Amino acid sequence: MKRTIVLASNNQHKLKEFQRILTDYTIITLHDIEFDREIEETGETFEENALIKAKAIHDYLTEKGLDYIVVAEDSGLCVDALNGEPGIYSARYAGGHGDDQKNREKLQKELEGKKRDAYFVCTIMVYYPNGEHKTFVGKTFGKITECELGRKDFGYDCIFYSNDLKKTFGEATEEEKNSVSHRGRAIQEMMKDL
């Protein structure tokens, strides 16, 4: 029987990415465990935010008597010339949470006349039922393009030119992106431990 992992997210993009890679596990979401509490990400680093999410879900599962592994992640885009911004604020860079177009527009404005080297980072926190937890980090490097290229349906993908793929994540297939993405690399590290 497959072990169950609770992904501390309802983001369908993330769910699909984890499901494609972790085929030996049943991956369920916060919706599936009826978790509807607000988790405030008050950390100052990706690792702190991932731990806050993982522990909150772990505590909820313990209350319910459920013996699942929790996987929480925090990820974002870091631009060298902006001292690592947008960083932990990537999803809400322009103010509101998840307005990808406004976030990209703000980033382009901030980068006028500056170097465009950037990287995505993903920090995964695995929280085991016994309270033990471990961190896994993946990064992928590239630069911010001046115009949007490819699909515009997910975050900064259409303006992130991957050094590995020689095209933007927006132009890449899901398989290509997963093979070099920050999340894919962090998941590969996590799999060695699982």
Tell me the mean pLDDT per 10 residues along the chain, length 194: 88 83 90 92 95 97 95 96 97 87 97 97 96 97 97 93 98 92 92 86
Q: What local confidence, expressed as pLDDT, does residue 21 receive?
A: 82
Q: Residue 146 is part of which domain span?
A: 3-193
Q: Look up residue 184 and give its DSSP letter.
A: H
So what's the pLDDT on residue 178?
86
**Which CATH number goes with the domain that contains 147?**
3.90.950.10
159-181 pLDDT tens trace? 999 999 999 999 999 889 989 99
How many domains are there within the chain? Answer: 1
Q: Taking the model in full, what pTM does it have?
A: 0.90
For residues 35 and 4, is the Cβ–Cβ distance under 8 A? no
**Amino acid letter for position 149:** L
Positions marked catalytic = 74
Per-position DSSP letters for 57-103, written without gaps between them: HHHHHHHHT---EEEEEEEEEEEGGGTT-BGGGGGGTTSSTT-HHHH
Residue 154: its pLDDT value, please? 85
Residue/partner pairs of 158-163 with CB below 8 Å, 24 or more apart? 158/104, 159/104, 159/107, 159/108, 160/77, 160/118, 160/120
